[in-house]
Amino acid sequence: MNVLNFKLGEVVFQAGSPSECAYLIEKGRFEVSRVCSGQKQVIGVLTEKEIFGEMGLIDGQPRSATVTALEESQVSLITQECFNSIERSNPEALMPLLRVLSARIRDSYKLSNLKSSSF
Amino acid sequence: MDENLKTFYTGDIIFLEGQASKCAYIIESGRVGIYREGYRGNRSLVRQLGKNELFGEMGLIDKYPRSATAIALQDTRCMIIERSRFDYLSKFNPHFMVSLIKSLTEKLRTTITKLNKIEPSSKTTAPDKTTLLGFFHKKRSIEK
Average pLDDT for runs of 10 along chain A of length 119: 93 92 95 87 90 88 93 94 84 86 84 56
From B61, B102, B115, residue closest to A102, measured CB to CB: B61
Q: What is residue B117's predicted lDDT score, i.e. its pLDDT?
A: 63
**Which string of b and e fits A47-80 if b means at least 16 CB within 10 Å?**
eeebbbbbbbbbbebbbbbbbbbbeebebbbbbb
At residue B127 the predicted structure's pLDDT band, cuts being 50, 70 and 90, is very low
Between residues A13 and B93, the one the model is more confident about: A13
Mutate to test the interface with A, among B17, B45, B62 (most CBs of A within 10 A): B62
AA identity, residue A27 = K
Among B96, B103, B21, B26, residue whose Cα is nearest residue B59: B21
pLDDT at B118 exceeding the cut of 70 = no
Q: What is residue A35's predicted lDDT score, i.e. its pLDDT?
A: 84
Chain B residues touching A14 at Cβ < 8 A:
none
pLDDT at B121 exceeding the cut of 70 = no
What is d(CA A3, CA B126) in angstroms, rounded to the nearest whole number? 31
Percentage helix, strand, coil for chain A under 3-state DSSP, each rounded to 5: 35, 35, 30
What is d(CA B93, CA B107) in angstroms, rounded to the nearest whole number? 22
pLDDT at B125 exceeding the cut of 60 = no
Fold classification of A3-116 (topology level): Jelly Rolls (2.60.120)
Q: What is residue B134's predicted lDDT score, i.e. its pLDDT?
A: 31
Task: State the number of CA atoms in the 13 A half-sphere of B128 facing the CB.
Answer: 3
At residue B144 the predicted structure's pLDDT band, cuts being 50, 70 and 90, is very low
pLDDT at B73 exceeding the cut of 50 = yes
Chain B residues touching A94 at Cβ < 8 A:
90, 94, 97-98, 101
| Sheet strands side by side (includes B43-49) | B13-15, B69-72, B32-37, B43-49
pLDDT at B69 exceeding the cut of 90 = yes
Query: What is the ipTM metric for this complex?
Result: 0.74
What is d(CA B9, CA B22) in angstroms, rounded to the nearest whole number? 20
Chain A residues touching B94 at Cβ < 8 A:
87-88, 91, 94
Q: What is residue A115's predicted lDDT score, i.e. its pLDDT?
A: 58
What is d(CA B91, CA B85) in angstroms, rounded to the nearest whole number? 10
- The rounded percent of chain B whose pLDDT value lies above 70 is 78
For chain A, give every domain's residue range: 3-116
- The rounded percent of chain A whose pLDDT value lies above 90 is 42
DSSP 8-state assignment for residue B136: H
Mean of pLDDT values over B67-76: 96
Helix (H, G, I), strand (E, B) or coil at B62: helix
Q: What is residue A82's predicted lDDT score, i.e. its pLDDT?
A: 86
pLDDT at B135 exceeding the cut of 70 = no
* A75 touches A39 (CB < 8 A): no
For residue range A27-48, list pLDDT tens digits in order. 999 999 988 778 888 988 999 9
Do the Cβ atoms of B61 and A95 come within 8 Å?
A: yes
What is d(CA B100, CA B92) in angstroms, rounded to the nearest whole number? 14
- The DSSP bridge partners found for residue A35 are A40
Do the Cβ atoms of A59 and B93 come within 8 Å?
A: no
Among B60, B53, B63, B65, residue whose Cα is nearest residue B128: B53
pLDDT at B138 exceeding the cut of 70 = no
Number of CB atoms found within 10 A of residue A118's CB? 6
Q: Return residues 2-31 of B near A (CB < 8 Å).
A: none
Percentage helix, strand, coil for chain B under 3-state DSSP, each rounded to 5: 35, 30, 35
Mean of pLDDT values over B29-40: 91
For residue range B1-13, list pLDDT tens digits in order. 445 899 999 999 9
Residue A41, burial from CB neighbour count under 10 angstroms (0-12, 13-18, 19+) = exposed
From B62, B106, B111, residue closest to A108, measured CB to CB: B111
What is d(CA A29, CA B129) in angstroms, rounded to the nearest whole number? 35
pLDDT at B133 exceeding the cut of 60 = no
Number of CB atoms found within 10 A of residue A94's CB? 19
What is d(CA B75, CA B91) in angstroms, rounded to the nearest whole number? 33
